[in-house]
Structure 1
């Protein structure tokens, strides 16, 4: 049994989450529940592997060893029931850097890239940073339940200038796990219109119904051939600071194009300790993850039940995946500036402003519930008191 209730002091560890000077997240007396890392110790096997490697006093340039890719293959086979080839894989320092590389590798400056909003904000930033045009297709929301807008997608994917789509699967911040039928329909649309799909599956291991996530490369050969998938151990095992992720595609031309652009951009290297940590996590961290998922789900249920029973002006559905809650404050009747003031200055909570994920996030805040329950209890009590003072 792992003790996820244990509060670990992260001050003095150079933690962005706890020690940044941004007053929106870490102002005086605020509880930071924003950036997506966890306040839990990683699996013991990871710490042991890092200590063992650290005892060798030379930390020179590493190779991308076969052991690393083999551990990924074993993990994918166990968790998703899919057999993948090492020749389909490459590595990059992070999913966001990888998306930057992919945009440059697969599009030209005049091209358009489609995203489904509200969505993880670095997608739009990456597209704009690479000099491409963002095309947004809003997800359809009905009482907190989100679906793809198929008519809108079909229309926008038919634009000859849309060459690429970035899919968030599972979706951040809404916590949806897309069904096989949805992914097949989307994939077939992209194949029909010659649009390559970048599938960000960094939260794929954090699903609450085991086996519910369908990787894009597990679909038809045609869909797989029109896509690349990014994944990492970082969210799963709380290793984000080790900057190690991988990209997988069955399409060898896309793989060559990606590797060539990564080299051109000086982005082809990954972290020595990140590889050691990933191998240890994938081979020895599964029991830890299974216990973690039970704890996270209970945290999500706690938040849902708290606002349902005590704060009817607020709602939050239990997500199907991720440790991120999408909290709806629209019944309070506040504009976004007023809502942010309530959350940050009155309740003293460092949450993510929903507008950061797109215009569809107006009236929402994103909360990171990957922390000991006691912190969530404190956070909800602060929120309740702030709302009742309003």
Structure 2
């Protein structure tokens, strides 16, 4: 590899929330030697092009208000065309301050209190928070688990849409926490249901940059010829390029009526100029860091292979779902532990933070999500700790 992803950086120096000793102690009961595998960001140094762009911008010594200038739009349009084969226009794009906050705004803009909003479960909990904080009714459509792979339950989905009068659907593609990449046929059928029942489809594609088989991924707008007029795309460089601290997400809205309605709402809540470092970072990511991203994806794919093999060999009762994307391992612990209290005690003893399955709204109880977007040395140390604790637990009553 051209880039050294094995190089360990001290993320505590940058006051990284994921690695902060105080947070790890207060939230998880862990000590200063903990390995954090909960928060979904990467442990790697960003691409050299991004780092140079940030250093060059910082050297100017001017950190006043900025704006989304032409280089930004050109980079986004080129990236979406080159990487995902979708044509977008400048006027369809709006930079926002993070996808989670944007979901809150979308729910509040397009729904009235009491309206029904659908999500698939298990789901990233902020999806549910956006619905509930908007005073809306949360409609959970459970994913079907077959042979350790998730599938969309279209029959139940349509029934719920009709009976609950669903107004909006927050959909995750690729799916979090499983990393499932939906097929073009699945996305087409989903689109047809949303169009048929007049459901605004909000598609979160923030995990799409790290795909292990690029040919397998279809962006929503390429799955159905009409869905672009019935949807809002939420996109971000934050996961693949590790820019979460820059609040550099963006949305793409083709439909003029939907777009103008939402932009008017963003004016009400005063979403204005972007973070001064966000624009140069995104431009460097999309224009000069594609090779870096490809190598990162290969490295993470190798990490998954390490995880699959380790659990199959050392902890076979735990089942790791095969992931198509991202850096989050979704592990079924139902045959290993009796309940989530046991799981939490186990990982606390291993001095590892994780995300417990019940966090994911519904259908995730007694599962665990581990962030494996880290150096192989750290990953192997984490697995070693899990193995040592598991060996002790197998010898004693819990």
Give the Å deviation of 1:209.
0.4
Aligned to 1:8: 9
Within the alignment, does 1:366 sit opposite 2:365 as a pair?
A: no
Give the Å deviation of 1:25.
4.1
How big is each residue's C-alpha offset from its partner over 1:321-348, in whole Å with a ceiling of 9 and x where there is no partner? 110000111111421111111122x222
Q: Give the whole-Å Cα distance in 2 for the aligned partners of 1:39 and 1:26.
A: 21
Q: Give the whole-Å Cα distance in 2 for the aligned partners of 1:252 and 1:217.
A: 16
| Aligned residue-pair number | 389
Aligned to 1:155: 159
Aligned to 2:206: 202
Q: Give the whole-Å Cα distance in 1 for the aligned partners of 2:204 and 2:268.
A: 22
Aligned to 1:97: 101
Q: Give the whole-Å Cα distance in 2 for the aligned partners of 1:149 and 1:219.
A: 18
Aligned-residue CA RMSD (Å): 1.3
Give the Å deviation of 1:243.
0.6
Q: Give the whole-Å Cα distance in 1 for the aligned partners of 2:164 and 2:274.
A: 35
TM-score w.r.t. the length of structure 1 is 0.97
CA contact (8 A) 2:185 2:223 kept: no
Q: Where do 1:213-228 residues align within 5 Å? A: 213-228=217-232
Deviates more, 1:268-277 or 1:167-176: 268-277
Q: Select which of 45, 48, 66 maps to 1:62.
A: 66
Instruction: Please give the secondary structure, in 1, of the residue aligned with 2:138.
Output: strand
Deviates more, 1:303-312 or 1:262-271: 262-271
Q: Give the whole-Å Cα distance in 1 for the aligned partners of 2:198 and 2:359.
A: 30
CA contact (8 A) 2:24 2:353 kept: no
Q: Give the whole-Å Cα distance in 2 for the aligned partners of 1:277 and 1:333.
A: 43
Change (3 A) 1:245 1:263: same
Q: Give the whole-Å Cα distance in 2 for the aligned partners of 1:253 and 1:265.
A: 19
Q: Give the whole-Å Cα distance in 2 for the aligned partners of 1:312 and 1:212.
A: 28
Aligned to 1:298: 302
Q: Give the whole-Å Cα distance in 1 for the aligned partners of 2:72 and 2:29.
A: 36
Q: Give the whole-Å Cα distance in 2 for the aligned partners of 1:268 and 1:98.
A: 13
Q: Select which of 252, 257, 260 maps to 1:253.
A: 257
Q: Select which of 261, 267, 274 maps to 1:270.
A: 274
Give the Å deviation of 1:259.
1.0
Within the alignment, does 1:171 sit opposite 2:175 as a pair?
A: yes
TM-score w.r.t. the length of structure 2 is 0.95
Give the Å deviation of 1:187.
0.7
Give the Å deviation of 1:22.
4.2
Change (3 A) 1:26 1:261: farther
Q: Give the whole-Å Cα distance in 2 for the aligned partners of 1:254 and 1:339.
A: 44
How big is each residue's C-alpha offset from its partner over 1:181-221, in whole Å with a ceiling of 9 and x where there is no partner? 00010010011110001100001111100132212222334
Give the Å deviation of 1:146.
0.7
Q: Give the whole-Å Cα distance in 2 for the aligned partners of 1:353 and 1:321.
A: 20
Q: Select which of 311, 324, 333 maps to 1:307.
A: 311
Within the alignment, does 1:121 sit opposite 2:122 as a pair?
A: no
Q: Give the whole-Å Cα distance in 1 for the aligned partners of 2:177 and 2:148.
A: 12
Aligned to 2:239: 235
CA contact (8 A) 1:301 1:318 kept: no
Q: Select which of 20, 23, 28 maps to 1:21.
A: 23
Q: Give the whole-Å Cα distance in 2 for the aligned partners of 1:160 and 1:39.
A: 42
Deviates more, 1:364-373 or 1:150-159: 150-159
